[in-house]
Each structure stands twice: as C-alpha cells, then as structure tokens.
Amino acid sequence: MSSEHNGRRPYLPPFRRDWWLQLRFYRLYMLREATVLPLLFFVGCLIYGLYSLGQGPAQWQLWLDFMAQPWVFVLNLLTLAASLFHAKTFFELFPRVMPLAPPRLMIAGQWLGTVVVAIGLIVLLGGYL
Amino acid sequence: MTQTIVIARYNPELDEKPHQETYQVQSDDNTSVLDALQQVQQQDPSFSFRWSCRMAICGSCGVMVNGVPKLGCQTFLRDYPVGLVITPLSNFAVEKDLIVNMEPFLEHLSAIKPWLINTAEGTQPHVQTPKQLAKYQQFANCINCGLCYSACPQFGLNPEFRGPAALALAHRYNLDSRDQGKAQRMPELNAKNGVWTCTFVGFCSEVCPKKVDPAAAINQGKVESAKDMIVSAFKPTGAR
C-alpha cells in the first residue's frame, strides 16, 4: 500500500534498548533470565573441584581452601538464592505449559520433589549413609 | 472533579513525530479512559481514536495507559490518582493520534488459518461434547484487541514473529475436535517466527482483557511442535 498518495505517514517509534527497565513485570522477567549468571560461577567451581579431585590430596585441599574464602561463599550463597528464585518462577509456569493436574497441586509436587532430592543428595554425599 | 490527562498526539500531515498534550476532563468514580477520550474529542474534534462497543467485546479501544496496554472502556480514571499518560498501542506504527496500523497483526492472524478445516462432506452438524469444548474454550475468547502484541517485547524486537494472539488461536483450532487442519498449521508453529521465538516473558497473558493466557497457549504449542518434529523424523519422506 503506497502511503505517499493518500496522506498516510505512519510513525513507528524505535524499539527502546531499555524496554526491560520500563515495567516491574519486565524487570522481574530479566531477573529470572539473569539467574543463570551466578549459576555459571557455581558450575565453574564444580568443574574446578572435579579437576582438583583427580589431581590428588594437595590440589583437593587447595580447592577446599578456595571454596572456604568469604567472597566465594557469598557468591555461592547468591547462586543458591538465584536458583531458588528461578525454581519458584519455573514451577509456577510449568502447570501452564503442561496442565496435567490442578496448578497448586503441581507446584506443591515440584517443591516436594526438590526437597526430597536435596535431602537425598545431602544424605548420600554427606557421608550419612 | 477535574482530572488532568496527557495524550500522545500525531498528525501525519503536520508533525514530524508524536508529541504529548495535556487535557482537563471531568471525572467521577465511573469515568473510563474511553469516556475521557470522548471528552477530549469534544474539546478538540481533530483528535482521533478507535472505539465501538464500550463493553470490552469489540477490542477496538486498546491504548497504552502509563506504558501498559489496556482497553480504554475497561480502565477507570479512579485507579490513576497520580495521573495518566495515554499513548497509542506499542509495537505498531501510528497513523494518527491514538490510531495504529493493525495490518501486521491481521496478517499474522490469517497466516495460521484460524478457521475450522474439515474435509467431511455434507451438511450435518459437527457434534462436540462439553469435555471436547473445554479443551480449547479458554483460547477461543480472544477479541483481537492486539494488547498482547503491545505487551510482547519479542514482537517489538522482531515484527515478523507471529505473536501471542495468532499462535494462541492456532492452538485453539488445533485443540478443536471438529478440526483437521493441524498438519497445515504446524509448519507455521515450527517456523523461525513461530512458537520458538517466544521466551515466555508472559506479559501478554497479564494484559489480556479476556484471560486467554496466550503465553500458556504458545508454550503448549512448543510441546506440540516438539512432538511434531519427533514424529516427522520417523515418517518416510513424502508422507505427511
């Protein structure tokens, strides 16, 4: 459709780069997406730990010392908080994608699963068995 | 009482780009944004906006109120004590004042074939049980107001994205027991600008005046698209 002959001159506002700062809803969405960033640090720690385990007791002790540093501890605490926030948003979205049961039941079931798996891993890896 | 509202104005014959103007309107507890816009039009007959039913059925009076897509008839001045800035629906080109060009939206809508595709011959009615109706009913409540497109940053970034309402409607017809057109719609859902462009921001469902939950429909469409891909991988070439 030609705009020149009928007086039309549609104005398309440019899409703002900072669109996600404009509304609280968008900021929460970006926060959800950003939870992957501290998780990257945690995965790095984990790979470093596995590598150290293969290198012998001295390197293993070095890794333990690294992990005990306050800044590493705080960053990993942040990772835990970020993962829990992501889990909360994910668990709430999941019943909408796969409506298999009433949403509240599905959300409760997912949290129950998380707690069971977490306790199981702590018991298994913590040497309580 | 008198309330101040700010409205984006754009006259394509005079203005380089939209600008904002301030108006005084009379309001009480029952004054909707649409009522306020009609008062402004009485003050300035050159002011243009769309409306029709004034009861949230026609989907014509969509505008941005303080940056959030709303139906003018369903939004009340009493909920905005600090004031309102009314602008045209985002992510669409502005034709004049609050009127946007909905053509891209309508093209996306028709691309997914939003009608019953059924090869059965004859004039007998299509029987459907309440249970079969319940499967898609929520997604059938769309009034094509376009608010979800203004809420969707993915559509803002990529206008080729089929978008919330169109993909929700595709899902609605795919779920309909009377329909046989799923095989024709799946290529659109699977395509680059189909369901996989959605990142589940979810604001489309938040602003939907009919609680259609297009974000859920699109993400259920992703499940269907994944199943379609797996099934087609095991089908001999040439088969549908």
Q: What is the pLDDT of residues B221-232, one digit of tens each?
A: 999 999 999 998
Write the residue in A7, A11, A25 that is nearest to B17 by C-beta.
Answer: A11
Partners of A97 on chain B (C-beta within 8 Å) are: 216, 219-220, 222-223
Write down which residue in B100, B131, B155 finishes a domain: B100
Q: Is the separation of the CB atoms in B24 and B2 below 8 Å?
A: yes
**Is A70 inside a domain boundary?**
yes
pLDDT in tens, B141-188: 999 999 999 999 999 999 999 999 999 999 999 999 999 999 999 999
Would you call B75 an interface residue with chain A, using a CB distance cutoff of 8 Å?
no
CB atoms within 10 A of CB B154: 19
* C-alpha–C-alpha distance, residues A18 and A88, integer Å: 26
The verdict on a CB contact (< 8 Å) between B219 and A13 is: no
In a domain, A24, yes or no: yes
pLDDT band at residue B124, thresholds of 50, 70 and 90?
A: confident
In a domain, B239, yes or no: no
**Residues A44-57 pLDDT 10s:** 999 999 999 999 99
Q: Looking at beta carbons, which residues of chain B come within 8 Å of A12?
A: 92-94
User: Is B240 a member of any domain?
Assistant: no
> Model-level pTM?
0.92
The two tokens of residue A80 are 């835990």
Q: How many domains does chain A have?
A: 1
* Residue A89 belongs to a domain: yes
Do B210 and B119 lie in one domain? The reply is yes
- Clarify whether residues B42 and B118 are in a common domain: no
* Cα–Cα dist B154/B199, whole Å: 8
Last residue of a domain, one of B100, B132, B163: B100
By Cβ distance, the residue of A20, A25, A97 closest to B206 is A25
The beta-carbon neighbor of B95 closest among A10, A13, A19 is A10
Query: What rounded mean pLDDT belongs to chain B?
Result: 95
pLDDT over 60 at B92, yes or no:
yes
Q: Within an 8 Å CB–CB cutoff, is residue B77 touching chain A?
A: no
**Mean pLDDT (chain A, rounded):** 93
Q: Residue B209 pLDDT > 70, yes or no? A: yes
CB-based contact, B134 to chain A, within 8 Å:
no
> Which residues 30-89 of A have a C-beta within 8 angstroms of B?
33
Q: Which of B95, B200, B203 sits opposite A25 (nearest CB)?
A: B203
For residue B239, what pLDDT is reported? Answer: 54
A10 within a domain of the structure (yes/no): no
Whether residues B206 and B109 share a domain: the answer is yes
| Total domains, chain B | 2
Residue B77 and residue B89 share a domain:
yes
The verdict on B61 and B135 lying in the same domain is: no
> How does pLDDT run across B32-67, given as a tens digit for each residue?
999 999 999 999 999 999 999 999 999 999 999 999
- Residues B96 and B107 placed together within one structural domain of the fold: no
Nearest CA in chain B to A9: B12
Question: For residue B20, what are the domain limits?
Answer: 2-100
Is A26's CB within 8 Å of B201's CB? yes
SS3 B76: strand
Mean predicted confidence (pLDDT) in A2-14: 79
Do B91 and B191 share a domain, yes or no?
A: no
Residues in chain A closer than 8 A to B157 (CB atoms): 15
Alpha helix (H) residue ranges in B31-96: 33-43
Which residue in A has a C-alpha nearest to residue B218's C-alpha? A97
A98 touches B: beta carbon within 8 Å? yes
Same domain assignment for residues B229 and B117: yes
Query: Does residue B67 sit in the same domain as residue B92?
Result: yes
| Chain B residues touching A19 at Cβ < 8 A | 153, 156
Q: Among the three residues B100, B126, B150, which one is the final residue of a domain in this structure? A: B100
Q: What is the pLDDT of residue B236?
A: 81
Together in a domain, B83 and B110: no
DSSP assignment of A90-125: HHHHHHHHS-SS-HHHHHHHHHHHHHHHHHHHHHHH
Q: Average pLDDT in the A65-75 region?
A: 97
User: The domain spanning residue B170 has which CATH number?
Assistant: 1.10.1060.10
Q: Which domain holds residue A93?
A: 19-97+106-125
Do B91 and B110 have their domain in common?
no
Is B17 touching A (CB cutoff 8 A)? yes
B222 — contact with chain A (CB < 8 Å)? yes
CA distance A111 to A106: 9
User: CATH code at B46?
Assistant: 3.10.20.30
Same domain, B175 and B212: yes
Does some domain include residue B238? no
* Chain A interface includes B225 (CB < 8 A): no
For an interface test with A, give the residue of B101, B137, B175 to mutate (most A CBs within 10 A).
B101
C-alpha distance from B197 to closest chain A C-alpha (Å) = 15
Q: Domain with A58 in it: what CATH number?
A: 1.20.1300.10
Confirm if B214 and B148 have CB atoms less than 8 A apart: yes
Mean pLDDT (whole number) for A57-78: 96
Q: Provide, as residue numbers in chain A, all residues whose Cβ is less than 8 Å from the Cβ of B196.
A: none
SS3 B178: coil
Write down the ipTM of this complex.
Answer: 0.92
Instruction: Tell me which residue has tokens 């019953």.
Output: B116
Band (pLDDT 50/70/90 cuts) for residue B121 is confident
